[in-house]
Amino acid sequence: MKEVIAASNAPAAIGPYSQAVKAGGMLYISGQLPIDPSSGDFAAEDISGQTRQSLKNIGAILTEAGCQYSDIVKTTVLLADISDFAAMNTVYAEYFTETCPARAAFAVKDLPKGALVEIEAIAICS
């Protein structure tokens, strides 16, 4: 059985997809843009602020699903510019301090709404 997760304190999906889906003890979180859910705008213009907001959005979805950051086993980080990797990594390290999840990070041509970063995650939680 699968359950759609919709956190009111994370931005609503901007297309025909769910914020997250929980199935078989796994939580699949869709790519999170750095949108502040209260304003609908980007939380910051720089990569550090945008990374922080994307991870906060993931945190809101985790909480709604009864999970936490330590339950994340895999992330994918999409960057508009690979030269932002070090700054993104510095903020990312604030959220994953012990056993870090597996991760892929790469640059893409463009991200929705002109974002600098988008992060998706997979977690194991009951």
Task: Give the CATH number for residue 39.
Answer: 3.30.1330.40
What does the pLDDT look like over 57-116, one tens digit per residue? 999 999 999 999 999 999 999 999 999 999 999 999 999 998 899 999 999 999 999 999
Mean residue pLDDT of the chain comes to: 96
* Residue 108: predicted pLDDT: 97
Separation in Å, CA 109 to CA 39, 70, 112, 123: 26, 30, 10, 27
Q: Is the model's pLDDT at 10 over the cut of 80?
A: yes
Of 23, 3, 14, 8, residue with least CA distance to 118: 14
- Total domains in the chain come to 1
* Residue 13: predicted pLDDT: 85
Q: Is the model's pLDDT at 126 over the cut of 80?
A: no
Range of the domain at 44: 2-124
The enclosing H or E element of 50 equals helix 47-64
The enclosing H or E element of 78 equals strand 72-79
Express as a percent the part of the chain with pLDDT over 90: 92
